Chains A and B, each alone.
Chain A
């Protein structure tokens, strides 16, 4: 995590089981003040379990969970925390402003109703019953409830799942603003685009363990960096023999060449086939990095299981 940042939340050698299923296995994780940490991983990797533990909704089998130096299962330890969780149904017969007013009452220094409505993009909807809102508007109310207490630490469990692009960007913008104001955000998500757009640090979980950790850029650097696609008369085996090429795949009429250094490889390609066409060069995406990390992890797990 960030150098010398104050730690606001931590898991210390935490193991959590649900019955026979191990949700987290000896996981240690620190959240530094002011950072935007993304927890990434496939379903069942332990992202939501980590968040539930840090919110005091769940108790570890072993290890220690702390938020602002205290056990989050104590009510008063949660006074500086806001949370947006996945919920199937919210009481529909309260108005937007009533929901917000109630959650504001739990905190010592809440935002005003007006500020909360503005920040969540709910102006003009305060008198609507929750049940009369669209899906995107409902999600904004949940976001409003998370921020209305003016929290220093915010947990967002898949905040933009199923949202239209406008609402998603609105919430991203709000998350950036909160971080700019010095708040700490812990985000779980399936959307790699979301991580790329927001996160200062990424932790990848798989099978209840941390499999990778770093900045978004560092993550990408962990995988074969860039891709060259082109139509060429050269055979894949020939391209593979070029220095610095780390992999070649043939797709119909074109080749996909992976390499850490694009320029020398391109020069060599042009020398060998001046008639090369359809050239495309792309950076590796976070998605490539993510898939690679998870795939490697799975292979290791399989090896362990067969061993």
Chain B
């Protein structure tokens, strides 16, 4: 079902989740009713143990993104600070979801590193540039991982994260006064 006013409904869903304290890994609900995607994954075939390293690599990159948004958001131009906070929240959700997949595969989720190489950006454009670099790296890694993951429900779950990071990238690019959607295919190279 498609909403009459999709953004309003979606924004309300985000608010409801926050209000309900439903966070991180449990936050995924399919957009059209029915059981949550996470439940579908758990009710379907198990996540393969052989995918633990791949999922932990993605989780490591999400930890990097969390560090980047945490450091960068206070330095963003005022008009984009709310986006930075929102995207940090998204990355935390992604990390929680990936950690859940690692556990479902019988693995141990990788922990955040003590620090991450974020450089020493000067000015809002360079700060946005760091976020651009991080989001592109995430997209490249997800595109490499998605076809290798099994079963199909895990591909879907990880692709749903990938597409959200692509949305972040579009907003970051727009803030950098670059075309938000430069190509018909998201590759991470733009």
User: Is this pair of chains taken from one and the same complex?
Assistant: no
